[in-house]
């Protein structure tokens, strides 16, 4: 599964229920989310949940070339 940023616990539960074994997320967007105290604990718990059931988490660190996206109150240009 490709996701633009880190999963929350609700998303992690859905990913696990769907049987997804590999999650690719954008590293810079993940770091932006993780730096936001509102999401930091949620992301940490979700990552633990996913890894505990064997979901591989891959962080892509490169240009996507998509239009800017409003993420956590600021525009992020992948």
What band does 75 get if pLDDT is binned at 50, 70 and 90?
A: confident
C-beta contacts of 62-69 below 8 A and 24+ residues apart: 64/26, 69/4
* pLDDT value at 48 more than 90: yes
Q: Which domains does the chain have, with CATH numbers?
A: 2-61 (3.40.140.10)
- At 17, list the tokens: 């229920």
* CA angle at 17 for the pair 13 and 18, rounded to the nearest 5°: 120
pTM for the full predicted model: 0.74
Residue 3 pLDDT: 85
Tens digits of residue pLDDT in 25-43: 887 766 666 566 677 888 8
Distance, in Å, from the CA atom of 38 to the CA atom of 57, rounded to the nearest integer, reads 21
Percent of the chain's residues with pLDDT above 70:
82
Task: For residue 60, give every residue at least 6 positions away whose Cβ sits within 8 Å of its Cβ, in sequence order, or none.
Answer: 24, 25, 26, 27
């Amino acid at each position: 599964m490709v996701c633009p940023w880190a999963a929350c616990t609700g998303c992690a539960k859905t990913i696990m229920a769907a049987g997804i074994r590999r999650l690719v997320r954008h590293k810079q967007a993940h770091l932006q989310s993780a730096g936001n105290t509102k999401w930091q604990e949620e992301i940490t718990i979700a990552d633990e949940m996913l890894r505990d059931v064997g979901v591989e988490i891959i962080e892509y660190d490169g240009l996507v070339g998509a239009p800017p996206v409003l993420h956590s109150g600021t525009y992020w240009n992948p």
